[in-house]
């Protein structure tokens, strides 16, 4: 043993080392649910000046961590207890991986010797192996002296390349093990430059530029990878300098303001079907883009794809000009290249898009202006649309079926990374976790527009919102059911229909139990005053928005994905 390695006598332990390792890497917030074996970790983190946000269910804690990773480009960290708590968090970790959000789930785990022999430990589960399929990477730290390396590897894996969810397993014995203080201090690793902006090759840029130069009807698709890249000014420069119309995917809304003249969002289907050269920027050709296939897309369209992940190329359609690299580095380089190659969208193309936009926006205006009683989705959403147009600082969380699909079209965003929604999985239950994560991370107000069904998945977290006094306004779009609220039991029995929820439920009363303010809104006027008052107070509030139970269509805009029996009687 070298002199420097000799124990000095002073000792620390695994708990403290985890906190030191996280702090050394700039992680200042933990989301989780306390319990065996991590309770002391949560306490000690708070004592060490970290923020700990305690949830009612690990899934919401994980969603909060994931979205904070997306917003900050630092991995959001979620702490879970062993076995069931671990599994509850795993849904959120998988969601982070699928959405390319940097997140780390740190879970305590039971005695490995007992787990591996399946002798029936308290909360026994082989967590490391259970986590692997859902995580970008998974590690276990068996020796307290390796905690620094374990945390560093988790951070680097979460942030580098395509970001994702990383699992870090900490057995109870590792947490409680004592470590010589000097060894501990020397074991910490500060992760340097984990997401270095990689430049694409000059050849890839030239290939893409010459393809764009041939385009008459070019189109740029901005995805949430473009939002994550935080290259807002560069992207705007590319679009404005080239005059290429663009379509934002839902979480890329606001990257350029939605009322930008080059936005083709209100002419989406037309633009997709007619474009001859399409450039995907941080967006995947998955189900959300009809896999790039006809009839949504022209079968002869050629594709450029800019993505940090090389194996994404050709996943659904051949990519004529792949650009592998970081958006922040690639976009200015491509713009430079285009100065010599040139790109000129045909004036007929721009005019045709403008014409479609006008027609569709007029139709939307008419729907928004109608004032049915009870409210439908449009008349209620109009209130939010108007308020958010004046308050671009407010974060919008959105989930549900019709509530998601219609809000995405109705509500314009004016600031980048302010719309947070069901994302790549189209998952329900992200609402409160994302709202809490966004409020904690940004300190800004959040409005969560939730279908009544979607809200149910994480509704108990309104207690968390109230306990931490977060400026979150939850709007429950209450039509009394999944999709709609007027379905009957087809067998004629006394049970409600599978898609039914309690009709006339008073979700506003729930939040009052925890000291928040509840509002019951039955028309746009009462909704507007509730929303104004709630936002002005900057205190937790829930608005029960009463929506016509017959408003809403099954599966919203994705009816094509909803298999139905051809033998159905009704």
Which residues form the interface with Mg ion (CB under 5 A)?
Answer: 451-453, 479
Calpha distance 413→51 (Å, rounded): 30
**Which phi-psi region, left, alpha or beta, contains residue 118 (left: φ > 0; alpha: ψ -120 to 50)?**
left
The listed partner (Mg ion, ligand ADP, none) that binds 309, CB under 5 to 8 Å by sort, is ligand ADP
Q: Which does 14 bind (CB under 5 to 8 A by kind): ligand ADP, Mg ion, none?
A: none
Span from 22-30, 166-174, 276-284, 526-534 in contact with ligand ADP (CB under 6 A): 276-284
Count of residues interacting with ligand ADP (CB under 6 A): 23
Residue of the chain from 69, 102, 218, 282 that contacts ligand ADP (CB under 6 A): 282
Contact by Cβ (8 Å): 384, 475: yes
Cα atoms in the Cβ-side hemisphere of radius 13 Å centred on 165: 26
Q: Which is nearer to Mg ion, 58 or 548 (CB)?
A: 548
Contact of residue 249 among Mg ion, ligand ADP, none (CB under 5-8 Å per partner type): ligand ADP
> Is residue 357 at the binding interface for ligand ADP, with CB under 6 A as the rule?
no
Q: Does 288 bind ligand ADP (CB under 6 A)?
A: yes
**Closer residue to ligand ADP, CB minimum distance, 67 or 530:** 67
160 binds ligand ADP (CB under 6 A): no
Identified binder of ligand ADP from the candidate list 37, 148, 200, 225, rule CB under 6 A: 225
Confirm if 375 and 417 have CB atoms less than 8 A apart: no
Partner that binds at residue 100, options Mg ion, ligand ADP, none, CB closer than 5 to 8 Å by kind: ligand ADP
Q: Quick one: 85 or 456, whose CB is closer to Mg ion?
A: 456
Contact stretch for ligand ADP (CB under 6 A) within 307-315, 436-444, 454-462, 553-561:
307-315
Q: In DSSP terms, which residues pair with 541 in a beta bridge?
A: 473, 517
- Up-side HSE of residue 394: CA atoms within 13 Å toward CB? 28
Residue 228 is a binding residue for ligand ADP (CB under 6 A): yes
Is 321 one of the binding residues for ligand ADP (CB under 6 A)? no
Name the minimum Å distance from CB 423 to ligand ADP.
6
Distance CA 400, CA 92 (A): 17
Which of 445, 506, 519 minimizes the C-alpha distance to 478? 506
Query: Segment 234-253, which members bind ligand ADP (CB under 6 A)?
Result: 249, 251-252
Only one of the segments 61-69, 222-230, 314-322, 355-363 lies at the binding site for ligand ADP (rule: CB under 6 A); that segment is 222-230
Query: Residue from 160, 274, 398, 424 that binds ligand ADP (CB under 6 A)?
Result: 424
Binding of ligand ADP by 283 (CB under 6 A) = yes
Cβ proximity to ligand ADP: between 55 and 63 the closer is 63
CB of 168 within 8 A of CB of 154? Answer: yes
Cα–Cα distances (Å) from 503 to 403, 458, 544, in that order, read 17, 19, 12
CB 388 to ligand ADP: min, Å: 20
The DSSP annotation for 173-196 comes to: HHHH-EEEHHHHHHH--PPP-TT-
In whole angstroms, give the CA distance from residue 53 to residue 73. Answer: 19
Packed helices 524-537 and 377-390: angle between N→C axes, nearest 10 degrees:
40
Answer yes or no: are the C-beta atoms of 204 and 329 closer than 8 Å: no
Binding positions for ligand ADP, 88-107, rule CB under 6 A: 99-100
142 in Cβ contact with 174 (< 8 Å): yes
Q: In the bound complex, what is the minimum distance in angstroms from residue 200's beta carbon to ligand ADP?
A: 10
**Residue 312 binds ligand ADP, judged by CB under 6 A:** yes
Q: Which of 151, 245, 161, 230 is nearest to 191 (CA)?
A: 151
- Distance separating alpha carbons of residues 425 and 213, to the nearest angstrom: 35
Considering CB distances under 5 to 8 angstroms, the limit depending on partner class, which of Mg ion, ligand ADP, none binds residue 412? Answer: none
User: For the packed helices 327-341 and 232-242, what is the interaxial angle rounded to 10 degrees?
Assistant: 20
Stretch that binds ligand ADP, among 4-12, 25-33, 282-290, 379-387 (CB under 6 A): 282-290
CB of 428 to Mg ion, least distance (A): 11
Q: Are 73 and 26 in contact (CB under 8 A)?
A: no
Nearer to ligand ADP, 228 or 434 (CB): 228
Least distance in angstroms from the C-beta of 371 to ligand ADP: 33
Query: Does residue number 254 form part of the binding site for ligand ADP (CB under 6 A)?
Result: no
Handedness of CA 221, 224, 225, 229 (dihedral sign): positive
Distances (CA, A) of 231 to 242, 249, 506: 17, 16, 43
C-beta closer to Mg ion: residue 95 or 479: 479
Q: Where are the alpha helices (DSSP H) in 344-469?
A: 347-369, 377-390, 402-410, 431-442, 452-458, 462-467
Beta carbon of residue 205, minimum distance to ligand ADP (angstroms, whole number): 14
224 near ligand ADP, judged by CB under 6 A: yes
Distance from C-alpha of 464 to C-alpha of 33, rounded to nearest angstrom = 11
With both helix axes pointing from N to C terminus, report the angle between 58-72 and 431-442 in degrees, rounded to the nearest 10: 50
104: left (phi over 0), alpha (psi -120 to 50) or beta: beta
The entry of ligand ADP, Mg ion, none that residue 451 binds, CB within 5 to 8 Å by partner kind = Mg ion
By beta-carbon proximity to Mg ion, the closer residue of 409 and 499 is 499
Label each residue of 83-129 as H, E or C: CHHHHHHHHHHHHHHHHCCCEEEEEEECCHHHHHCCCCCCCCCCHHH
Nearer to ligand ADP, 89 or 102 (CB): 102
Answer yes or no whether residue 73 interacts with ligand ADP by CB under 6 A.
Answer: no
- C-alpha R_g of the chain: 25
Instruction: Indicate the residue among 278 and 449 with the shorter CB distance to Mg ion.
Output: 449
167 interacts with ligand ADP by CB under 6 A? no
Binding of ligand ADP by 317 (CB under 6 A):
no
Least separation in angstroms between residue 420's CB and Mg ion is: 20
Binding site for ligand ADP (CB under 6 A): 99-100, 162, 223-225, 228-229, 249, 251-252, 282-284, 286, 288, 307-309, 312, 326-327, 424
């Amino acid at each position: 043993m070298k002199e420097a390695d000799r124990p000095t006598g002073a000792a620390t332990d695994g708990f403290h080392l985890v906190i030191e390792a996280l702090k050394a890497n700039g992680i200042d917030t933990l989301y989780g649910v306390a319990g065996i074996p991590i309770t002391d970790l949560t306490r000690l983190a708070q004592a060490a000046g970290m923020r700990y946000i305690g949830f009612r269910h690990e899934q919401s804690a994980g969603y909060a961590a994931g979205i904070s990773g997306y917003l900050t480009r630092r991995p959001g960290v979620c702490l879970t207890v062993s076995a069931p708590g671990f599994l509850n968090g795993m849904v959120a970790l998988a969601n982070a991986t699928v959405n390319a959000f940097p997140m780390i789930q740190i879970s305590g785990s039971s005695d490995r010797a007992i787990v591996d022999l399946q002798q029936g430990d308290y909360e026994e589960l082989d967590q490391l192996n259970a986590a692997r399929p859902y995580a970008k990477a998974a590690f276990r730290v068996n020796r307290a002296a390796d905690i620094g390396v374990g945390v560093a590897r988790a951070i680097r894996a979460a942030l580098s390349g395509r970001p994702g969810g990383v699992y870090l397993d900490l057995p109870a014995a590792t947490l409680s093990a004592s470590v010589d203080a000097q060894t501990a201090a020397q074991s910490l690793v500060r992760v340097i430059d984990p997401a270095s902006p990689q430049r694409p090759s000059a050849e890839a840029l030239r290939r893409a530029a010459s393809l764009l130069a041939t385009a008459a009807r070019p189109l740029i698709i901005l995805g949430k990878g473009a939002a994550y890249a935080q290259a807002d000014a560069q992207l705007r420069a590319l679009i404005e300098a080239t005059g290429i119309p663009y379509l934002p995917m839902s979480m890329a809304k606001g990257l350029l303001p939605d009322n930008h003249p080059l936005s083709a969002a209100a002419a989406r289907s037309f633009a997709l079907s007619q474009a001859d050269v399409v450039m995907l920027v941080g967006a995947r050709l998955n189900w959300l883009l009809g896999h790039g296939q006809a009839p949504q897309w022209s079968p002869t369209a050629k594709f450029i794809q800019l993505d940090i992940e090389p194996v994404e190329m050709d996943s659904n359609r051949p990519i004529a000009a792949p650009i592998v690299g970081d958006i922040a580095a690639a976009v200015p380089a491509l713009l430079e290249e285009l100065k010599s190659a040139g790109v000129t969208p045909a004036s007929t193309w721009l005019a045709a898009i403008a014409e479609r936009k006008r027609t569709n926006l007029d139709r939307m205006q008419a729907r928004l202006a109608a004032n049915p009683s009870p409210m439908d989705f449009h008349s209620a959403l109009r209130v939010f649309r108007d308020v958010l147009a004046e308050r671009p600082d407010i974060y919008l969380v959105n989930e549900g079926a019709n509530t998601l699909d219609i809000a995405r079209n109705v509500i314009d965003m004016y600031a980048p990374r302010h719309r947070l929604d069901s994302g790549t999985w189209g998952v329900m239950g992200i609402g409160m976790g994302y709202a809490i994560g966004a409020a904690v991370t940004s300190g800004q107000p959040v409005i969560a527009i939730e279908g009544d069904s979607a809200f149910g998945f994480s509704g108990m977290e309104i207690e968390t919102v109230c306990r931490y006094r977060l400026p979150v306004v939850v709007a429950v779009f209450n039509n009394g059911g999944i999709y709609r609220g007027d379905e009957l039991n087809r067998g004629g029995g006394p049970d409600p229909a599978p898609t039914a929820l309690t009709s006339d439920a008073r979700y506003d009363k729930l939040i009052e139990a925890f000291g928040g303010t509840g509002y019951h809104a039955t028309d746009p006027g009462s909704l507007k005053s509730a929303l104004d008052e709630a936002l002005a107070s900057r205190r937790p509030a829930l608005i029960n928005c009463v929506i016509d139970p017959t408003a809403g269509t099954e599966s919203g805009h994705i009816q094509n994905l909803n298999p139905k029996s051809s033998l159905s009687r009704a």
